[in-house]
Structure 1
């Protein structure tokens, strides 16, 4: 079905709407669909539980986390299959993941910056009533404060763009994260509280935001809603590379001893 035009105009995109879906399961699902499906997908997840820390594939806990506090509080730490920064996700995080074949948007070159630039075009009408929206380096911001972070994975002819939007967050949980050595220039050394902001302060409701994202996608795709059960039945048994995993307490404890 990938790239198939509907009504002679828009390629088909299958959409999954999730609520409080565990982020570990979501990342595993994303990797499954990237590697085994030829279709275009959008995953919308309204919040996640339990609160979890997710690191990019090359992230090092001792450099990015307050490891002793993370271990003491028993916060799960996950290594995802894609790149990107280190974040803590919880019930206040909204997720939008796009998984597409190259044929869906044939003029889009499969490079990180080009994909980011296209997503900025996608989100401009979503945030038309909020002031100061733009893409800065690899983040979505209102003026100079981040509310959306991105991770990507690109294969030979498919790409994935995963975004976590901070609808709300607990200041105390941000304390699990260190100031990264490699941070975007526009951060200018600011701590988490001064660097990030809440999407909920700029949008009427979570439901309206998710609806606006779908309407934005409809300019490019014909959306067809799907179900977890349907996906599991169609793709669940297919062998594929799967690298998303939990970092064990023992591995984290070793980091504190170094």
Structure 2
């Protein structure tokens, strides 16, 4: 860490910061993180660079990062946020392709799948009506596939035809790095590497031709304040370390 004794930052902590960055600049929108690392990221963003971010208990309340209630979120208001682009969801993906099409429903032919997963759930509405990001704790060719077996969340190649007014995929955070879609054809690009990871590792773990810039930066490290918040306020039990290897 700059300006003091060097501190070892874990891979999980880089992932928390990378997830937090998804909500940078969002303003007063509803954050809907799904999973431990995204939840830590959203709460960290609220405590630091996105103070207007709205957090929910998933039912009917707006909450502070410590879980205390700060307001009521009636279902009609929640729907207004969801359908009007005022919500930023971070979902998971069992499969995702180069254009950001996501599958959480099944593996294999949908009429006779080899594996049944969560089901479509709210993924179509999320991606049609909200900015969306993804958290994938195990970057592998089984997840990053040439073609998803079923489209649940819409990617860039399908969004325009579907009339998705608020469709935007901000970033895909994995245990290896951060990916985005800042390319001319909106295909997936390697945006940053977590320290200790090589470009070759990411390419080998991706089941399609990934856009790789000539100079890939490292994911930014937590500030001293952020590291203190992660370790002493948000996750003193270190549950984050059980979700991310390395």
Instruction: Compute the TM-score of the two structures, normalised by the length of structure 1.
Output: 0.26
Higher strand share: 1
Instruction: Compute the TM-score of the two structures, normalised by the length of structure 2.
Output: 0.27
